[in-house]
Each structure stands twice: as structure tokens, then as C-alpha cells.
């Protein structure tokens, strides 16, 4: 059975939490069989799978489509549905869209930024929420590391504490100095999940396409375990040669 929000929250200080994004049923099935306990259906799907230049163009309908696909592939894994841009502009709008993600198969939802009233409203309706601070792609003007100066670091710490107090059961910290992520991890009582935020968080998340090398551009904090893009090109080229030489099938 999939871990629930309370079980994941209790992992803080006990065991580190590996998390990966997933967008399709076959990949989700592979990740579940690999023992990944949490899958994030991120709005990153817009950029890494749909060819968009920003996550801001992803719709709630597209997110529900991918959540449903991942759920079918990983029925025994905790699945997080990302709230796309403007899907959580106020508590009531957020509640409607969160319920759509849950109906599609998500166990919890994730939203970006210090939306304390939205988080509290969703939690009051028994919806498990993951927060997200540091670099927040939906509103960022660049993808440079954030929190490097004292003022910005203090802002992010304040956001993290506020998100935890509002009722989130987990917090993603993206692209900050490792020292800042460590301060936040020690300051709040919910697990922190780092992405480009050093090794001291309570867990780590990465975009699946980045770590398997499926694409052409990857963030500076990505670790590639393979380069499947090159493998796919090689296979396609060999297939084309076989067709032209009448050796296929």
C-alpha cells in the first residue's frame, strides 16, 4: 500500500525519502518496481514532455491526465499532483482543482510559494498538501539559485516556517545554497525534500527525464545516471537503416 501523508511526515529524522517525477504509466510502473516511495506528477511535464517553454502554460486538465496515467502505472505508490499555475489563486479555486487531482488518482497535492491561507483551507478539508519554497518556477523570472544573500535567505526561511505552520506535511526546497536548506530542515518539523539544495534535506527529488538523460538540456544540479536520448537516437537510426535495406522485419 502507498504511504499516506502521516507516514511520510513521520519519516523525518528516521529515514531519507527518495522521490522522482513521473508523467506516464510505463515509467511510473518502473519506478514503483524500483521501490521509489513517492512519485511527483510535476507541472514540469509541460517543459520536459510537452515541449513548452514554461510551466505556466500547463492546465489542470493536462495535470489530471498525467496523474491518472501515473496512478495506473503505480497503484501502490504515493502520488503527488502538482497544482498548475493559477490553479490555486484563492482557497476556493484551489479546493476545486485539488479535488480534481485527487479524483484523477493523486494522494496529495503540491503548490508553490507562501500561500498559507490556501494550504490551511485544503488541510481543513482533509487534503494532504506539500509546500514548495526556494526557486518557484511558476513565478520565477530566472532559474538562478535563490537565497544567496541574507535578505532573500530570511524570506525563504520565513516562508518555510509559514508553510509548515499552515499544515503542509512536507516541503520541497529548490535550488538554494545547501547551508540554507540545512537551516530550514532543522527549523521545521516536517520533511524537507531538496532539489538542487544540497545533501542535508530529509529527502531528494529529481525530474526523471534529467537523471535518465532524456532531453538536451538539464539543470546544473542534475546528476545523469544514463543518456537515454543517445540510445533512442541510435535505435531509431538502426531501425531506419533496416527498413531502407529491407532487413526489417
Q: Kindly report whether the peptide bond that precedes residue 74 is cis, defined as omega within 30 degrees of 0.
A: no
CA torsion angle for 85, 98, 46, 41 (degrees, to 10)? 140
> What is the rounded CA–CA span in Å between residue 26 and residue 73?
6
> What is the rounded CA–CA span in Å between residue 48 and residue 52?
8
Tell me how far apart the terminal alpha carbons of the chain are, to the nearest angstrom.
42
Q: What grid cell was written down for 88?
A: 490555486
Query: Which has the closest alpha carbon to 208: 11, 73, 9?
Result: 73
Q: How many Cβ atoms from other residues are within 10 Å of residue 161's Cβ?
A: 16
Q: Exposed, middle or buried, 116 (CB in 10 Å: 0-12/13-18/19+)?
A: middle
> What is the rounded CA–CA span in Å between residue 39 and residue 32?
9
> What is the rounded CA–CA span in Å between residue 207 and residue 189?
25
Residue 47's contacts (CB-CB under 8 Å, 6 or more residues apart) are 53, 54, 55
- Catalytic machinery residues: 174
Q: How many Cβ atoms from other residues are within 10 Å of residue 209's Cβ?
A: 21
Amino acid at each position: 500500500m502507498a504511504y499516506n501523508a502521516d507516514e511520510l511526515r513521520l519519516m523525518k529524522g528516521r529515514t531519507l525519502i527518495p522521490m522522482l517525477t513521473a508523467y506516464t504509466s510505463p515509467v511510473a510502473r518502473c519506478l514503483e518496481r524500483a521501490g521509489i516511495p513517492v512519485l511527483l506528477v510535476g507541472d514540469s511535464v509541460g517543459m520536459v514532455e510537452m515541449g513548452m517553454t514554461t510551466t505556466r502554460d500547463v492546465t489542470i486538465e493536462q495535470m489530471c491526465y498525467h496523474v491518472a496515467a501515473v496512478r495506473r502505472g503505480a497503484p501502490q505508490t504515493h502520488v503527488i499532483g502538482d497544482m498548475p499555475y493559477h490553479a490555486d489563486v484563492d482557497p476556493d479555486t484551489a479546493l476545486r482543482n485539488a479535488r480534481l487531482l485527487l479524483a484523477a488518482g493523486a494522494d496529495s497535492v503540491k503548490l508553490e510559494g507562501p500561500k498559507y491561507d490556501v494550504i490551511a483551507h485544503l488541510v481543513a478539508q482533509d487534503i494532504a498538501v506539500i509546500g514548495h519554497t526556494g526557486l518557484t518556477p511558476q513565478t520565477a523570472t530566472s532559474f538562478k539559485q535563490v537565497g544567496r544573500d541574507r535578505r532573500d535567505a530570511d524570506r525563504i526561511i520565513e516562508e518555510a516556517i509559514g508553510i509548515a505552520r499552515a499544515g503542509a506535511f512536507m516541503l520541497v526546497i529548490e535550488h538554494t545554497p545547501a547551508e540554507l536548506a540545512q537551516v530550514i530542515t532543522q527549523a521545521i518539523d516536517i520533511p524537507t525534500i531538496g532539489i538542487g539544495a544540497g545533501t542535508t534535506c530529509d529527502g531528494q527529488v529529481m525530474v526523471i527525464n534529467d537523471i535518465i538523460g532524456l532531453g538536451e538540456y538539464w539543470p546544473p544540479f542534475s546528476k545523469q545516471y544514463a543518456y537515454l536520448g543517445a540510445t533512442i537516437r541510435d535505435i531509431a537510426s538502426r531501425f531506419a537503416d533496416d527498413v531502407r535495406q529491407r532487413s526489417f522485419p
